[in-house]
Structure formats: structure tokens, C-alpha cells
Chain A
């Protein structure tokens, strides 16, 4: 019997609750300008399924067909996203996508993709390595502009548009979902991100809400 096997039973690994990447330093509340409505609202999208998909050599067409039949989404060829049944697929480079899911929480997304795309793509689970922050509100573009060299004009950065870039020198993947912007960052820079957001949104008033 392998020494490192972990039995999944009551109270074991599978039942642990994930901790916020901002745990211990970002408390819910109002920051910066106090009067009037908050110009920027931020929350963390917790327990998301996050995974990268990299097409195997020569399998891109078959991969696209498999995604279409399983999720009803057309994998995009550029840095934009396609939303299918329960999963958003975001282009992050030629032949590579980042998948995000609420319903397939945590590692369940990578597990399902690995099964459904066997032989067509390599899947890596990112659910415990990244935090996804949702930033919205009337001043969201002005606040983001302080750290991000991406044109967020709605005529250019349309709903679903995405960008892999840097935000105040931190590597991020950003995408637009309606009027909100989701920012996926490495969990380890959560503190730096919070410091940047708090300072950048202060003049507009920042409301930080935690989510489930």
C-alpha cells in the first residue's frame, strides 16, 4: 500500500474550505473617499474552477469540436472569451485557453476537462494557484488605468474581451463580464494587489465585499 495515499472520508482533504487570497489583510468595508456612493466595488470570486487548456500538436480542430459538443462554446482564436454551459473559455495565447467555472468548483473543472478532452489537450488545474477579483462600479476603468496599459474603452474592450498583461508589474489575466472586470492573479501577489487597489481606488471610494 502506497505510503502517501490520502483516503477521502469525512474530515479529509476534500472537505477543507478554501481560504481567501486576501485573508488576514483585506477586511470588508469602505476605503478611501467616504461620501457618496463608492466609485469602485471589489469582491473575490471564490471556489471557482480554474484550468488551462493547451491543444496537443495537430489536435486543435478536434479540440474545438469537442468543446463545442460538450459545452456549446466556440474556442476563440484571439484574446477574447466564449461562454458555454457553465464554463467561460478565454484565449491566452495561440492554442491555449484559460477556463473559468462557477458550477464546476475548484479542481472539479480540471478533472472534467481532462476526461472530456483526453488526447486532444493538456489540462492543468489552477484553482488553488490563482485568485479572481471582480472589480466594478462607475470609476472602475479610471482605477484600473492606474496600473494597466490596456485600452478599456468599451468600443475596443467589448464584453468578453480579455488581456494577458501586467497590472502594476503583477502578471494578470483580465476579462470583461458585462460591466464588471475580472482579474485573475497569482494568489501569492494577493497582498500587493490589495495594496494597489486600495490606493488606486481611494479617490473614488472603494467598497470591498467578500463573496462566498
Chain B
């Protein structure tokens, strides 16, 4: 498997580390009332068969965090963006 890093170009998988689901959002509130949202954020993950947005770190290359859209059934990668896009 190769990942086409927006900065470095196509590189082999060994240069990257998987860093988890890119769709989870940190809850705004730290109140007790947001408890369920925090459990969801920290522990619960969907396990989709098909397209999935995930974070990868290009640790042996440019050190960018990438947001990769990957098909979990075929491993086909349909999009790669810098996670810091627009920031």
C-alpha cells in the first residue's frame, strides 16, 4: 500500500503510522452533562465497510498529519489531504 502524501508524493506504507479515526470531534463542553459525548469521543468507533476517513502521520517523511479517505474493503485510497488544511 502507498499513500500519496500531498507534500512528499507517493510513499510506501512503512513511512506512515495510523493515528485513528479522523471523524471524531472533541466535545465542546467539559460539564458532567456531556459525559455520554465524552464516552463516545474517547471509546466508541464505527467500523464501516467501505469509505473511512482516518489520520495518518508521515513520520519518516515530512512529519505532516494526513487525513486519508480509504476504502476499508479494498484498501483503495480515494483522497489524501493535510489534516492542517485551512489552518
Listed in ascending order, the chain A residues whose CB lies under 8 Å from chain B are 78-79, 91-94, 96, 149, 163-166, 171
Cβ-Cβ contact count across A and B, 8 Å cutoff: 35
- Are B82 and A94 neighbours in the complex by a CB distance under 8 Å? yes
Contact of A165 (CB < 8 Å), options: B7, B11, B82:
B11
Given A78-B7, A79-B9, CB of A166 within 8 Å of CB of B63? no
- Are B8 and A163 neighbours in the complex by a CB distance under 8 Å? yes
Inside 8 A of A92's CB, which chain B residues have their CB?
Answer: 62
Contact residues of B: prevailing secondary structure: loop
Closest 3 CB pairs of A and B: A93-B62, A166-B60, A164-B61
Inside 8 A of B62's CB, which chain A residues have their CB?
Answer: 79, 92-94, 96, 164
Inside 8 A of B69's CB, which chain A residues have their CB?
Answer: none
Inside 8 A of A96's CB, which chain B residues have their CB?
Answer: 62
Question: How many residues on chain B are close to A (CB under 8 Å)?
Answer: 14
Q: Is there a chain A Cβ closer than 8 Å to B15's Cβ?
A: yes
Listed in ascending order, the chain B residues whose CB lies under 8 Å from chain A are 7-9, 11-12, 14-15, 60-64, 82, 84
Contact residues of A: prevailing secondary structure: strand
- Are A93 and B64 neighbours in the complex by a CB distance under 8 Å? yes
Q: A92-B62, A93-B61, A94-B82 are in contact. List 15 more A-B contacts (CB 8 A).
A: A79-B8, A79-B62, A93-B62, A93-B64, A94-B7, A94-B84, A96-B62, A163-B8, A163-B61, A164-B8, A164-B61, A164-B62, A165-B60, A166-B15, A171-B60
Given A93-B64, A94-B7, A171-B60, CB of A165 within 8 Å of CB of B15? yes
Inside 8 A of B9's CB, which chain A residues have their CB?
Answer: 79
